[in-house]
Amino acid sequence: MIKQAKFLISNTDYKKCPSPDKPEFAFIGRSNVGKSSLINMLTNNKGLAKTSGTPGKTQLINHFIVDGNWYLVDLPGYGFAKVSKSLKAEWDKMIREYLTERENLVAVFILVDSRLDPQKLDIDFALWCAERGIPFALAFTKADKLSTSRIKENVNKFLAEMKTLFGDVPDYFVTSAENAMGKEEFVAYIEENVAEFYKR
Alpha-carbon dihedral sign for residues 113, 114, 115, 120: positive
Q: Does the pLDDT of residue 161 top 60, yes or no? A: yes
Q: Does the pLDDT of residue 42 top 80, yes or no? A: yes
Residues 162 and 136: beta-carbon distance below 8 Å: no
Q: Which of 71-85, 113-127, 129-143 has the lowest mean pLDDT?
A: 71-85
Average pLDDT over residues 73-81: 78
Of 36, 106, 111, 95, which is closest to residue 71 (Cα–Cα)? 106
Q: What is the pTM of this model?
A: 0.93
**Which one has a higher pLDDT value, 12 or 23?**
23
Average pLDDT over residues 180-187: 98
Q: Does the pLDDT of residue 37 top 80, yes or no? A: yes
Residues 28 and 77: beta-carbon distance below 8 Å: yes
58 pLDDT tier (thresholds 50, 70, 90): low
**Which one has a higher pLDDT value, 124 or 109?**
109
From residue 17, alpha-carbon distances to 63, 70, 83, 104 in Å are 8, 13, 24, 11
Give the per-residue pLDDT at 84.
72
Give the per-residue pLDDT at 83.
63
